[in-house]
Amino acid sequence: MKILMVDDSDVTRDLMRVFLEDMGHQIVGEAENGKNAIKFFTEMRPDLVLLDLVMPGKTGLEVLEEIRVIDPAAKVIMVTAVEQDGIDKELLEKGAMAILRKPFSYSEFNEVLKKLA
């Protein structure tokens, strides 16, 4: 699967990269903010976007909404440490396919990806 990672944390992107490469996925881009996320999504058309919720500039929710306008069928997994039922509900209503909580283990990460494959 071709994957775009969007997270302002180098540590989180590094961890996801290690997991994804081990699982045999191709990382087509990495963005540290919402502006670059939209640019890379438009240029690369990945199969899946791993999208952080809390970032400087545009939030992950704003990016999710923009991605869904560009491609209503886009697969997006929200990756966040925020635990609020209201946010979860809104993210799922706006088109997120799943929500992955930080910190996550290899098995949790793999399980979420398997559900979308």
Average pLDDT, the chain: 95
Is residue 31 a part of any domain in this protein? yes
Q: What is the pTM of this model?
A: 0.96
CATH number at residue 50: 3.40.50.2300
Domain range for 105 is 2-111
Is residue 117 a part of any domain in this protein? no
Give SS3 for 34.
Answer: helix
Is residue 63 a part of any domain in this protein? yes
The dihedrals phi and psi of 14, each to the nearest 5 degrees, come to -60, -45
The total of structural domains in the chain comes to 1
Is residue 39 a part of any domain in this protein? yes
User: Which contacts qualify for 86-90: CB closer than 8 Å, 24 or more apart?
Assistant: 87/53, 90/61
Residue 117, pLDDT above cutoff 80: no
Residue 116, pLDDT above cutoff 90: no
User: Using one digit for the tens of pLDDT, what is the confidence trace for 72-105?
Assistant: 999 999 999 988 889 999 999 999 999 999 999 9
Give SS3 for 107.
Answer: helix
Tell me whether strands 2-6 and 48-52 are parallel, antiparallel or unpaired. Answer: parallel
Banded pLDDT at 115 (limits 50, 70, 90): confident
Is residue 104 a part of any domain in this protein? yes
